[in-house]
Amino acid sequence: MRKVQISTATGSTIGGLIAVLGVRYIPKQYQYLTIKTELELWVCLLPMFIAFLLVFRPMFLKKFLGAFGVPHLDMNVDFKPKLLIIKPLWFISSVSVLTMQFIIVSAISPLVLVLRAGSLIVGLNKEVPSETPKSAKLLLLLAPKSYRENLVGDLEQEFRTIVLPQYGAWRARWWYRWQVACSLLPIIWNSLKRAAGLALLWKLIK
């Protein structure tokens, strides 16, 4: 019988548990797509499962987990049942284990995330708040005081009057985050350079 190595299952279980916990604590407004029907689930799962098997080949996973000292269960590896009756049972158990694994993994599957993003782009984002993201707004406190208020005001005005009506809440919010990141990066970079300069000066003085 062909060897079926299901060590992938261990990895997917760990990933799945993290995912389930992650999804559980993601606020509702950020959960853009709810899988309601079984068909939707399988559409998500099947390509993900194939990709998962291709990327995380059992041997690779075994080495990877071993390197980090993660307890690793090689279920059914090199298992060659001698009794004929065991073969179908073994096959059913393997398939059911795998099925369970990829149902769990689907929670974090990047593919699901892509599908979620896709569903937003086509306008299924009814629950996304049409406000500027608070976390990004908070980051703007790092902007120089001399123009911080004006920068926040301009960003807010462009967000509300141009980007939000034109592109929808989800994309508008990402636009806002991107603007904040682009605005802050040069400031952070300059601060780092200044800090490096000061460190060098301190070294010279010492």
Name the site residues for other proteins (rule: CB under 8 A): 143-144, 146-147, 149-158, 160-162, 179-180, 182-184, 186-187
Q: In whole angstroms, how close is the CB of 50 to other proteins at the nearest point?
A: 38
Q: What token pair was written down for 132?
A: 């500027």
Is 83 strand, coil or helix? coil
CB of 30 vs other proteins, minimal distance in Å? 22
CB of 197 to other proteins, least distance (A): 17
Q: Is the dihedral of CA 145, 146, 147, 153 positive or negative?
A: positive
Least Å distance, CB 142 to other proteins, is 10
Cβ nearer to other proteins, comparing 54 with 182: 182
Q: What is the DSSP string of 3-29?
A: ----THHHHHHHHHHHHHHHHHHS-GG
Two structure tokens written together for 63: 């080495």
Please state, in angstroms and as integers, the Cα–Cα distance from residue 27 to each residue in 22, 38, 103, 170, following that order.
Answer: 10, 24, 22, 15
Distance of CA 120 to the CA centre of its chain: 16
* Closest by CA position to 33, among listed 99, 124, 104: 124
CB-wise, 126 or 145, nearer to other proteins? 145
H or E element that contains 38: helix 38-55
Q: Which is nearer to other proteins, 106 or 132 (CB)?
A: 132
> Between 10 and 132, whose beta carbon lies closer to other proteins?
132
Task: Give the nearer residue to other proteins in terms of CB position, either 40 or 154.
Answer: 154
Counting every residue written for the chain, the total comes to: 206
Q: Closest approach of Cβ 74 to other proteins, in Å?
A: 51
